[in-house]
Amino acid sequence: MRKIPITYALEGMHLGRTIIDSEGHVMLRAGVCLDEYYINRLYEIGVNYVYIFDPDFEDIEEDDVISEETRITTVKLVKKSFSKLQQNRKLNTVALRKVVNNILDEILDNNNVLMTITDISTLDNVIFYHLVSVCTLSIMTGITLGYNESRLKELGIGSLLHDIGKSKINQEIVKREGNLSEEEYAELCRHPEIGFQIIKQYNDMSLLSAHVAYQHHERWDGKGYPRKLQGNDIHEYARIVMVANTYDNLMTDRPNRPPYQVNQAIKLLKHMSGIYFDPRIVTAVVANIATYPVGSFIKLNTGEIGIVSQNNPENPQRPVIRIVVDVHLRRVKKPYEVDLSQMTTVIPVEVISERELSQLLPRTTGN
Ligand SMILES: [Fe+2]
């Protein structure tokens, strides 16, 4: 299964992952054969990427940290939580704690799996998918830091609800990318404090979870907002969410730029380390991310090109590669695998884009 930009989807390709609409209903189920109508419809609802079954690499399967069912249930619940607050109704904290427990249980069951990109959201629910990804990566980081169960749950709730204050801000301002006036920006910057006030009303959610919402836009160097907290004065949960949040934002398509590749996003996080972020937390977050996701194509320093067939959780930067194009840019007749964790002189030099790939391995149909 591979993730490809929708612009490279062809009739005859089979969908690898289910796509749900903005109401949380299944729009297209995994396995469906794409035709012109389906592809146009995906464009219309703002889906930028799809997972497809690639007949040439059928056996290559990306493990997911959390199940599709849990992801969809959580996306729906968070979306509902936002609309309840907009109608001045109470949050269902029992349901929220339950989904965080499910995410935690699944992460603990899949302790050998790295974080991958699973953003197949539509334009309408991108913010809710984002919150689920930030929650997942934050909990994984908490585990790396040796947190006990109760701390992981506090961190889980705080990370899932860190942007809940946005529910009370003018939605036109929330959804507009950039181009905000000074007043509009000031309005948007109120969301951490509003989020804190919302979460702290509930006795069955920790005050520390509320502080995640309050502090997730502070910066390690003290130049963040709303209180310009600095260094260790920022609670460690919020320091984790700051990094996980930035990482997932970089991985998301924006009107003014395409998403970063994982290796570029990691490089940028390291660059921001010590200025925006606590360096110790950046290291702990990055240890949980597959630098080269399964199914992506990379060029090695030997000149060969291959598809990532498996990740090495102990060494996220050095996966197993199945070589498909040789140094003379010819397709290899019998692809073979190299485990980069065992070959220290062979290193990935670049990720091959879908455009370059379509020239190297031309395809006219999905079959
Ligand atoms: Fe925020």
Q: Which alpha helices (H) appear in 163-206, and where do they start and end?
A: 171-175, 182-188, 191-199
State how beta strands 14-15 and 49-53 pair.
antiparallel
Ligand 1 midpoint to CA 114 (Å): 25
pLDDT of residue 322: 93
Ligand 1 midpoint to CA 287 (Å): 23
Backbone angles phi, psi at 310, to 5 degrees: -160, 145
| Shared-domain flag, residues 183 and 266 | yes
Reported confidence tier of residue 71, pLDDT bands at 50, 70, 90: confident
| Shared-domain flag, residues 147 and 22 | no
Residue-range definition of the domain harbouring residue 323: 297-351
| Shared-domain flag, residues 272 and 140 | yes
Percent of the chain whose predicted confidence (pLDDT) is above 70: 95
| Shared-domain flag, residues 103 and 174 | yes
| Shared-domain flag, residues 200 and 257 | yes
Nearest C-alpha neighbor of 269 from the set 255, 256, 250: 250
Q: Is the pLDDT of residue 112 over 60?
A: yes
Ligand 1 midpoint to CA 46 (Å): 23
| Shared-domain flag, residues 17 and 152 | no
Does 201 map to a domain? Answer: yes
3-state secondary structure of 19: strand
E strands, the chain, are 2-5, 14-15, 19-20, 26-28, 49-53, 297-300, 305-310, 320-325, 331-339, 348-351
Ligand 1 midpoint to CA 213 (Å): 8
Ligand 1 midpoint to CA 98 (Å): 23
Q: Is the pLDDT of residue 366 over 60?
A: no
Does 356 map to a domain? Answer: no
Q: Is the pLDDT of residue 351 over 80?
A: yes
Ligand 1 midpoint to CA 191 (Å): 7
Q: How far is residue 356's CA from residue 25's CA, in Å, rounded to a whole number?
A: 35
Tell me the mean pLDDT in the region 9-21. Answer: 83
* Residue 355 vs residue 24, higher pLDDT: 355
| Shared-domain flag, residues 242 and 272 | yes
Ligand 1 midpoint to CA 178 (Å): 14
Tell me the mean pLDDT in the region 317-330. Answer: 91
Reported confidence tier of residue 121, pLDDT bands at 50, 70, 90: low
Ligand 1 midpoint to CA 100 (Å): 19
| Shared-domain flag, residues 34 and 91 | no
CATH of the domain at 48: 3.90.105.10
Q: Is the pLDDT of residue 363 over 70?
A: no
**How high does pLDDT run on average in the chain?**
89
Does 364 map to a domain? Answer: no
Which residues, by Cβ under 5 Å, contact ligand 1, an ion?
163
Entry pTM:
0.88
* Residue 67 vs residue 238, higher pLDDT: 238
Of 13, 36, 57, the residue that ends a domain is: 57
CATH of the domain at 239: 1.10.3210.10
Q: Are 319 and 308 in contact (CB under 8 A)?
A: yes
Does 13 map to a domain? Answer: yes
| Shared-domain flag, residues 102 and 250 | yes
| Shared-domain flag, residues 87 and 41 | no
Model confidence over 304-316: pLDDT tens digits?
A: 999 999 888 888 8
Q: Is the pLDDT of residue 213 over 80?
A: yes
Q: How far is residue 117's CA from residue 292's CA, in Å, rounded to a whole number?
A: 10
How many domains does the structure of the chain reveal? 3
Q: Are 299 and 305 in contact (CB under 8 A)?
A: yes
| Shared-domain flag, residues 123 and 184 | yes
Least confident of 110-124, 157-171, 183-197, 201-215: 110-124
| Shared-domain flag, residues 100 and 52 | no
Q: Reading across the β-sheet that carries 14-15, which strands appear in turn? A: 2-5, 49-53, 14-15
Ligand 1 midpoint to CA 326 (Å): 45
